[in-house]
C-alpha cells in the first residue's frame, strides 16, 4: 500500500510554525502534502508515518518513529487540557464529540456523534479548530464498523437495524458495504448481507480491498476494485494463514465475539456485571458489619483465632460467593451467543477482528477472553475487600451495603443510562475490560495502579487496624 512519505515531519512542522506564530499569518500547506493514497479508519486512522487517535478526550497525532503524541491544537500557549479536567477548556484538541480523525485535501476530517445516536462527517483546518458539518452518513439505527479512505471516497461497513413494517417478523441486523464521496456527500450501498451474515475488511491497497463474507456454506473471500466497484471471488491457501497483513492476522467470523465482549452488547454486559457487583457487596458488607451490629467485634478479636484466621475465612467466603454468581451470570450469556453464532478460531490473534484491532496485547482470542475474565474477577475481589474495609469504618452492615452499591454499582447504572464518560472514571473500565485493553499501556497501567493498587492498599490498612489492633 503506497502512501506519501514524511507525513509526520510535515505535520510536526505545521504545528510548530503555527504555535510559534503569535501575531504572524498562519502558514498553510498544499493539499497534496497531507494526504495518503490509502488510509484505514477504524478506531484510529493509520497513515504511513503515524496514527490519528482520540486519547482521553484529546485528538492526537502519534508519530511512529518517536512515539510522540502531538495534540491537534494550534492555539498559542494552550495547555491542552481535556474536558474531563476542565469543562471550560478551549483547547481545539478537546472535542469530545469528534472521533476517527483523518487528513484529506489539506483538511482534517472526522466523525461527530449526534445526540440521536447517529454520526455526521465534519471538517476543520489542520489545527483542529472550527469543525463544520458536511452531512450525516450514519443514522441512529446504524453502527459504523470501520472503513478505508481511498482518494476522495470512503468505503466503509455498517450494521443496520431493520425493523419490519408488519410488526410480526422479527427485526434483524444487516451488514452493509457503502461508499461515501467526500466532495458530493453522495452515499451509495454496494453490498448487503442480511441477518447473521457479515462482511469484514481484511486489508488492501489504494487499488483494491480484500474482504470476507460469512455465507451459509462458510467464509468466502473477495477482492474489491475501487474504480470499477466490482468484486471477484479469490481463493486462499488456508483460512488460518495471514492474508494481507504481516502481524499474523487470520480470517475470523467475529460477530459472536463482538457480542461476547465487544462494543455491540455493552448494555447487556453492564447488567451482568452489576449483578456480580451486587453479590460482592452483599456478601462482604455483612461479614464484618454484622459483628459490629451485634457488638461482638472486640470479643472476637480477643479469641485465639479471632483475628487473621477469622478474617481470611470471611474474605474467602465472600469472594467465593462472588465467584459463584460470576459463573452463573457468564454461562447463560456465553450459551446464548454460542447458540446463535459460531465461536471459531480461538487460537487466532485477537487483532484479526476489526473491533479488537487496537488491543494492547496481540494474544490469541482464547487468551484475550481469559485475560478479560481474570481482570473482572480481580476487580470484584477489590470490591469485596473495599466493602469489608468500609464496614469497619461505618460499623453498620446496612449503611455499608447502601454506600458500597452507590460507589461500585452506581457508575454501572450511569453508564448503562447513556453516560459513557463514567467508564474510565470508575471501576467500570476494569469490570468490563475490553475498552481499556483497546487503548494504550499508559491508561491501562494507570487504571490498575489507581483502582487496584491504591484502593486495595487503603482497604488493607483499615482492615489491619481493625483486626491487629485493639482499637
pLDDT digits (tens, 9 = 90+) for 414-430: 988 888 888 888 898 89
Cα–Cα distance measured from residue 459 to residue 233, given in angstroms and rounded to the nearest whole number: 60
Q: What is the reported pTM?
A: 0.49
C-alpha grid cell, residue 120: 455526521
Cα–Cα distance measured from residue 171 to residue 425, given in angstroms and rounded to the nearest whole number: 35
Whether residue 255 contacts residue 212, with contact meaning beta carbons closer than 8 Å, is answered with no
Q: What residue ranges do the domains of the chain occupy?
A: 1-137, 141-235, 261-468
Average pLDDT of 255-260? 81
The H or E element containing residue 288 is helix 266-293
Task: Convert the pLDDT of each residue in 152-187 to its tens digit.
Answer: 899 999 888 887 776 666 777 888 999 999 889 999
C-alpha separations of 231 from 170, 221, 391, 457 in Å: 31, 10, 64, 58
Angle between helices 397-404 and 365-394 (to 10 degrees): 140
E strands of 340-418, at which residues?
Answer: none
Q: Which residue has the higher pLDDT, 441 or 126?
A: 441
Residue 444 has pLDDT above 90, yes or no: no
Average pLDDT of 52-66? 76
What is the percentage of the chain residues whose pLDDT exceeds 90? Answer: 13
C-alpha grid cell, residue 179: 461508499
Cα–Cα distance measured from residue 37 to residue 39, given in angstroms and rounded to the nearest whole number: 7
Beta-ladder partners of 51 = 46, 62
Q: Which residue has the higher pLDDT, 98 or 261?
A: 261
Whether residue 182 contacts residue 31, with contact meaning beta carbons closer than 8 Å, is answered with no
Cα–Cα distance measured from residue 52 to residue 103, given in angstroms and rounded to the nearest whole number: 9
Amino acid at each position: 500500500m503506497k502512501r506519501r512519505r514524511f507525513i509526520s515531519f510535515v505535520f510536526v512542522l505545521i504545528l510548530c510554525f503555527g504555535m510559534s506564530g503569535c501575531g504572524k499569518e498562519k502558514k498553510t500547506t498544499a493539499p497534496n502534502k497531507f494526504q495518503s493514497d490509502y488510509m484505514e479508519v477504524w478506531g484510529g486512522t493509520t497513515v504511513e508515518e503515524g496514527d490519528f487517535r482520540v486519547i482521553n478526550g484529546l485528538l492526537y497525532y502519534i508519530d511512529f518513529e518517536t512515539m510522540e503524541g502531538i495534540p491537534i491544537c494550534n492555539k498559542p500557549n494552550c495547555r491542552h487540557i481535556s474536558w474531563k479536567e476542565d469543562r471550560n477548556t478551549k483547547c481545539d484538541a478537546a472535542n469530545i464529540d469528534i472521533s476517527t480523525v483523518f487528513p484529506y485535501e489539506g483538511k482534517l476530517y472526522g466523525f461527530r456523534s449526534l445526540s440521536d445516536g447517529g454520526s455526521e462527517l465534519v471538517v476543520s483546518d489542520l489545527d483542529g479548530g472550527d469543525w463544520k458539518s458536511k452531512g450525516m452518513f450514519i443514522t441512529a439505527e446504524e453502527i459504523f464498523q470501520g472503513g478505508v479512505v481511498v482518494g476522495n471516497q470512503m468505503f466503509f461497513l455498517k450494521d443496520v437495524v431493520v425493523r419490519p413494517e408488519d410488526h410480526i417478523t422479527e427485526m434483524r441486523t444487516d451488514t452493509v458495504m457503502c461508499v461515501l464521496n467526500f466532495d458530493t456527500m453522495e452515499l451509495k450501498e454496494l453490498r448487503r448481507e442480511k441477518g447473521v451474515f457479515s462482511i469484514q475488511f481484511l486489508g488492501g491497497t489504494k487499488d483494491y480491498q480484500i474482504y470476507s463474507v460469512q455465507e451459509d456454506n462458510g467464509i468466502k473471500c473477495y477482492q474489491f476494485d475501487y474504480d470499477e466497484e466490482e468484486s471477484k471471488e479469490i481463493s486462499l491457501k488456508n483460512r488460518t494463514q495471514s492474508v494481507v497483513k504481516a502481524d499474523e492476522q487470520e480470517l475470523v467470523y467475529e460477530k459472536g465475539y463482538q457480542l461476547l465482549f465487544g462494543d455491540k452488547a455493552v448494555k447487556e454486559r453492564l447488567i451482568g456485571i452489576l449483578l456480580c457487583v451486587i453479590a460482592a457487596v452483599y456478601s462482604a458488607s455483612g461479614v464484618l458489619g454484622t459483628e459490629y451490629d451485634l457488638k461482638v467485634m472486640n470479643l472476637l478479636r480477643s479469641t485465639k483465632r479471632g483475628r487473621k484466621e477469622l478474617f481470611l475465612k470471611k474474605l474467602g467466603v465472600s469472594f467465593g460467593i462472588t465467584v459463584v454468581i460470576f459463573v452463573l451470570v457468564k454461562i447463560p450469556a456465553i450459551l446464548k451467543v454460542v447458540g446463535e453464532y459460531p465461536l471459531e478460531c480461538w487460537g487466532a490473534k485477537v487483532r484479526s477482528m476489526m473491533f479488537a484491532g487496537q488491543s494492547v496485547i496481540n494474544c490469541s482470542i482464547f487468551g484475550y477472553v481469559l485475560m478479560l475474565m481474570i481482570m473482572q474477577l480481580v476487580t470484584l475481589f477489590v470490591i469485596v475487600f473495599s466493602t469489608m474495609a468500609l464496614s469497619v469504618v461505618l460499623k453498620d452492615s446496612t449503611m455499608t451495603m447502601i454506600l458500597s452499591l452507590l460507589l461500585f454499582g452506581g457508575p454501572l447504572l450511569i453508564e448503562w443510562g447513556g453516560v459513557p464518560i463514567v467508564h474510565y472514571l470508575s471501576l467500570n473500565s476494569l469490570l468490563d475490560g475490553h475498552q481499556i485493553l483497546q487503548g494504550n499501556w499508559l491508561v491501562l497501567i494507570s487504571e490498575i495502579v489507581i483502582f487496584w493498587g491504591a484502593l486495595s492498599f487503603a482497604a488493607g490498612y483499615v482492615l489491619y487496624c481493625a483486626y491487629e489492633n485493639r482499637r
